[in-house]
Chains A and B, each alone.
Chain A
């Protein structure tokens, strides 16, 4: 059993090679969960999409390191 974990990563191949089971694509290394270049409302929507995808990943059954959802 254990506690499910989802990781939001700018570099999913690295996270998956390190053994993370549920990986969600983040934006980039400097700002993984959002984009300061966007207008505030668009940034807020982007952040929400990423977090919702991570929540969905938490309840997704996986058997090996998996990228959950796509951009």
Chain B
């Protein structure tokens, strides 16, 4: 008698999007997505917190600059199996996902744009303004390669932080769910099955130590099933992540929390491509970063390593999605993994925001500071995804979507720059890059020397 199959298997059906047009009714056919703007507008305006919405279509190569992006959502649909994609937020149940069949669009996202409200700008330093150029020298990040339905939202002006976040996110997910539902009875262009090999063989076991920033501001930030606070590490099946178990907020301008990013994380595809052949993949240990106290950072690192040992890991691929002091616990984790005999590779963009500025000269020669804010001797295998070195001036854009003006200096919110003109990023933005997705922790864009 064969034992029951307890493995977690997910089949993902993909519908590529090669064109997006307005029309009615909405539908997908042979690579063309038809979007009904009136239907989306009605859906979004069901929430009284939203006063106004503009629906735009944006495609790669357009003479278009998108400003005030708050999140990007890839529409996905659970067509078989338990739970709801992007669980635990926007009223979706918290059932464990990652099994059954999920449909998705490829190369497409619902983008939520809204200028940060003044009182939130004052309270949350990370709620910065950012932009996406769809062509030209600023189009270096992956977000310049996608097609979008852009929802530019005007909310009630007095929403407090978590209500503003909820309103923007709900609008995006309502639109995404509605577009995903168009796929329910169609046959995907391709299907792919995701299942971890059972292990117990002769292959080395590898774990993905998937560290994720948790916000120091309560109520916002990257969520695991919507749970955002700092917490001790948890083991996720990669299929949970493919079903949207990791979601971003709509506040922080930092792209490492973008919802689209986490279901398209190239680390997952790369590990799936080799697991069962070169190694057995033991799953993803999610360790939250940006703890406030050193002892908390140490505890998180030690517990992460304990989980890796209990998974019998011999190797660990370590990633992070943020910058700054998060690197302390990431490096402590690498140190402890190596001391436990677990070999590590760390995937990271070079430089911290204060170290490498935008101009190519400075990025090349640098200051005399190291390319990482903090490091340990045990971190001796690091793969670079590149630097923050684009052209330091962006040409004017013929069309601006998402708003009209930007604030580059958070300390001087009254200084506003028309978004459609030429932008001297070095002068306007200093050490912070306003290009959404520029801090490219997973190597999705074209910023490494390999890419050049």
- Which chain A residues have a beta carbon within 8 Å of chain B's beta carbons? 10-14, 17, 25, 27-30
Distance from B305 Cβ to chain A, minimum over Cβ atoms (Å): 17
- Which chain B residues have a beta carbon within 8 Å of chain A's beta carbons? 216, 292-294, 296-297, 325, 328, 332, 373-375
Chain B residues in 8 Å Cβ range of A11: 294, 297, 325, 328
A10 and B296 CA atoms in complex are apart in Å by 11
Contact check, A29 vs B374: say whether CB atoms are below 8 A apart: no
Task: Give me 29 A-to-B residue pairs in the complex whose CB atoms sit less than 8 angstroms apart, sorted by A's number.
Answer: A10-B292, A10-B293, A10-B294, A11-B294, A11-B297, A11-B325, A11-B328, A12-B294, A13-B294, A13-B328, A13-B332, A13-B374, A14-B325, A14-B328, A14-B373, A14-B374, A17-B374, A17-B375, A25-B294, A27-B293, A28-B292, A28-B293, A28-B294, A28-B296, A29-B216, A29-B292, A29-B325, A30-B216, A30-B292
Distance from B138 Cβ to chain A, minimum over Cβ atoms (Å): 32
20 further A-B contacts with Cβ under 8 Å, apart from A10-B294, A29-B216, are: A10-B292, A10-B293, A11-B297, A11-B325, A11-B328, A12-B294, A13-B328, A13-B332, A13-B374, A14-B325, A14-B328, A14-B373, A14-B374, A17-B374, A25-B294, A28-B292, A28-B293, A29-B325, A30-B216, A30-B292
A11 and B332 CA atoms in complex are apart in Å by 12
Chain A residues in 8 Å Cβ range of B328: 11, 13-14
Chain A interface, DSSP helix/strand/loop, else mixed = mixed
Chain B interface, DSSP helix/strand/loop, else mixed = loop
Chain A residues in 8 Å Cβ range of B294: 10-13, 25, 28
Chain A residues in 8 Å Cβ range of B332: 13
Distance from A34 Cβ to chain B, minimum over Cβ atoms (Å): 13
Distance from B356 Cβ to chain A, minimum over Cβ atoms (Å): 16
